[in-house]
Every structure is written in C-alpha cells, then in structure tokens.
Amino acid sequence: MTTDLSKAPEPTDSSGSTGSGGSISGAEILLEDVVKQYPGQKSPAVGSLSLTIPAGEIVMFVGPSGCGKTTSLKMINRLIEPTSGTIKIDGEDIRGKSETELRRKIGYVIQGGSLFPHMTVEKNIALVPKLLGWDKKRIDERVDELLDLVSLDPGRYRKRYPRELSGGQQQRVGVARGLAADPPVILMDEPFGAVDPITRQRLQDELLSIQRELRKTIVCVTHDIDEAIKLGDRILILQEGAQIAQYDTPEVVLGAPATEFVADFIGSGSSLKQLSLARVSEVELRKPTTATVGERVADVKQRAEAAGDRSVVVLDERGRPVGWPWLRQLKGDTVLEPTEDLVNIDLRSTLNDALDTMLSSSHGGAVVTGDRDQYLGVVVFDAVTEHIRSLEEEARD
C-alpha cells in the first residue's frame, strides 16, 4: 500500500507537544516510493514507502519487530542506500551531496547514547562541530549550552568519561551530541530503550521541552506505542515490509484506528492511553501549605493546621520543592532539608506519567514543577479522575 500524499493530515497545533515555542528550525523530509531489498532475501525489508514528514514535527515510527523501522530511518542519512526511490530533505535529493556532508547536517541518536568510551563528554559532543571546522571558543560555548539543555551541570560533567555516567546521563549526552551542530533533522533509533521507566519518562519530558524550543524535524523509532503517543506529533504505524498501516496524529490513531492491525497494535485501554495525551497543565492543581528550609517548625505547623493540611511541601531558598513530609515528621526547631528524594513531575508531563508518580507516593499525589524546577502546586487523584470524566463527556458529545 502506498499513501496518497495529498491525504497526509494537516499539521495540527492542538497536539500540545509542540504547539507553542520557538520558530521551526527543522526541514521537511520526503520519501517517494522508497524500496530496500537486502540481497538474498525474498521480500523487501521496505517495499515502496512514501511519506511526508513535515518540518518541525516529531514523527514516531512504530511497528512490530522486523517491520523495517530501522531500515527506513537509516535510509534518511544514507547509512543504508535504498534499492530504489527518492528521499528529499528540504526539497533536495539526499544523493546530491556526499554522505559525510549530508550526515553532518542530520543528528543521529541511538539506543544507549552510543558514546565513544575513550572520549570525554565534552569531546563526544564536540565531534560534529569539529568536523564542521568550528573554532574552539564556539565549540566550548556550544558544549556548555547543550549540557545545560539536557540538565547536566557542565562544570561537573564536561570532563567525565562515559563510563563515569549513569545510563540516563549517557543517553542525555547522546541527545546533546545529536543536537551539537544544530542540525535541522534528527534521527533517533529507540533512544530511550535502554533506561529504566522513571528515567525514560524524564528523558521524554526533556526531549519534549527541548523540542518546544528548537522545533527540529525529529524522526524517532520506537517499539513502545505509549512512547509514540506521548512524543509524536504524528505516528507512523508500520506493518511487515514497512507497509503503512496508519499515519496520523496520536488523537486520530487512538480515536479512529484505520485497520484491525492498528487497533490490535494500540491494544486495549485506548481511553487510558488518552491519558498520555493529556498534560498535567490541563488539570487543576491544589495548593497545600508550603514551608521553606530554615523556617521555624512551630510556625509551619500552625499554618498547616489552620489550613487543615496534614502535610506540607518543603521548598529550598530558590523555590524548588525538596520534600513533602507529614506534619508529625517535622522535628526540631527549624525545617531541615529532607534527606529522601522527592520525585517531582513537570507541568508538561502527561497525566499517565503523573499517575505513575502519584501511585508511588504515600500522599496520593505528586508535586508539580514548572520551568527551572519552580514549585507550582500538587496534583491529586481526584483532579485526574475529574479530568478523565470531562474528557469522556466531551468525547460523547
């Protein structure tokens, strides 16, 4: 099956993930009747794929193992040469330039980050800018900027070697490296496949927030439909031989799966999956009593009891939440910095991720933060169920 390009959905700004933010710096990618037949195989790995990937969007490739996702992706940066067909980036045939020239303008991020173990974080990130002949000062500034962007303190991490980083940190550096030369297009192959679920959720949130700012064209392969729903402005669902089963926004894919195959692939609980589309920012936050580190405990208790709260959110001097103790846990004269790690969620997290965090909290809620980890409030179960109910009502109308 080939898709009629004219039927490709109009870009929608309602998906929420890239709806606002910087101006588009990505480039459109066009695949026309692209075929890849590996030698010695009966059927092609990719049989005539035609597709438009709009500039500035995240398109997620999903599908069962072996359906040709990676092959399709790698044809875009010519790590694999198509048997036939044309691929254009920004209207230009990718065969018009040398492979190396092409690839330096396409970020490439793969599972685990794939950092070079013999190079420091800094050197890893600086690779492509160096290939492009940037001067040292510009490279240095860029490395700092990128480390900041992926939430790693440059002073601490610049000189480290990959083996001195956690899996999640390595993956962050991998993303930073992919962004290094500010390429309009970024290709990712299961970028978050090798990290634990909590870290994955965080990395996904970070990617979304980076994308809000940069508006690159990102093509990302995953086998996790939930990840596709969460990250994608559009989802490409592929079948054996890279046949397009459906190519549309997550809302449409969830709401109106094109075929039996798509419905099966999404699996049951598609209304639950809608939670991956709704953001914390859409529900009402509660504002329980807060306390600042160093404040007198007696004052805090008085305030909390007056408000009818049995717990308080502790903030540090810079307004970032650091703990959420019950009143009875507040001991001594002044409020101390709590020792246990508080798992916050970002205002732009999906309700799905928020629920995950809430379930593991003894408060039945989660602390919500905004830019630069500033405290915003608390999201609780009731608010989420209320929101689901209103979504369902909307859907019925």
Ligand X SMILES: Nc1ncnc2c1ncn2[C@@H]1O[C@H](COP(=O)(O)OP(=O)(O)OP(=O)(O)O)[C@@H](O)[C@H]1O
Q: Which window, 65-73, 271-279, 295-303, 386-394, contacts ligand X (CB under 6 A)?
A: 65-73
CB 29 to ligand X: min, Å: 17
Half-sphere exposure of 291 (CA within 13 A, CB side): 30
Residue 18 sits in the site that holds Mg ion (CB under 5 A): no
Residue 370 sits in the site that holds other proteins (CB under 8 A): no
Binding at 65: pick from Mg ion, other proteins, ligand X, none (beta carbon under 5-8 Å per type): ligand X
Dist CA 207 CA 241 (whole Å): 29
Q: Which window, 58-66, 161-169, 271-279, 345-353, contacts ligand X (CB under 6 A)?
A: 58-66
- Binding Mg ion (rule: CB under 5 A), the pick from 18, 48, 50, 70 is 70
Of 45 and 266, the one with the shorter C-beta distance to ligand X is 45
Q: What's the Cα-to-Cα distance from 258 to each of 119, 179, 248, 265, rounded to whole Å?
A: 47, 34, 10, 11
Dist CA 29 CA 72 (whole Å): 12
Dist CA 116 CA 111 (whole Å): 13
Q: Which window, 64-72, 157-165, 287-295, 333-341, contacts ligand X (CB under 6 A)?
A: 64-72
* 156 to 175: interface string for other proteins, x by CB under 8 A: -----xxx------------
Kindly report the CA angle at 231 between 240 and 198, in degrees rounded to 5?
105
Which residues, 6+ apart, have CB-to-CB distance to 358 below 8 Å?
364, 365, 366, 379, 380, 381, 384
- The footprint of ligand X on residues 67-86 (CB under 6 A) is 67-71
Dist CA 338 CA 254 (whole Å): 42
CB 131 to other proteins: min, Å: 6
Dist CA 386 CA 290 (whole Å): 25
Residue 387 sits in the site that holds other proteins (CB under 8 A): no
Dist CA 240 CA 260 (whole Å): 15
Q: How far is CA 48 from its chain centroid?
A: 29
CB 378 to other proteins: min, Å: 42
Q: Which window, 10-18, 70-78, 118-126, 363-371, contacts Mg ion (CB under 5 A)?
A: 70-78
Residue 177 sits in the site that holds other proteins (CB under 8 A): yes
Residue 273 sits in the site that holds other proteins (CB under 8 A): no
Of 114 and 344, the one with the shorter C-beta distance to other proteins is 114
Residue 110 sits in the site that holds ligand X (CB under 6 A): no
Best CA proximity match to 185, nearest among 288, 78, 283: 78
- The footprint of ligand X on residues 194-233 (CB under 6 A) is 223
Binding at 38: pick from Mg ion, other proteins, ligand X, none (beta carbon under 5-8 Å per type): ligand X
Is 76 within 8 Å of 185 (Cβ atoms)? yes
- The footprint of other proteins on residues 112-141 (CB under 8 A) is 114, 116-120, 127-128, 131
Binding at 77: pick from Mg ion, ligand X, other proteins, none (beta carbon under 5-8 Å per type): other proteins
Of 108 and 265, the one with the shorter C-beta distance to other proteins is 108
Q: Which window, 65-73, 82-90, 143-151, 345-353, contacts Mg ion (CB under 5 A)?
A: 65-73
Q: Which window, 15-23, 26-34, 62-70, 226-234, contacts ligand X (CB under 6 A)?
A: 62-70
Of 22 and 117, the one with the shorter C-beta distance to other proteins is 117
Q: What is the size of the binding site for other proteins (CB under 8 A)?
A: 27
Q: How far is CA 397 from its chain centroid?
A: 31
Which residues of this chain interact with ligand X, rule CB under 6 A? 38, 41, 45, 63, 65-71, 223
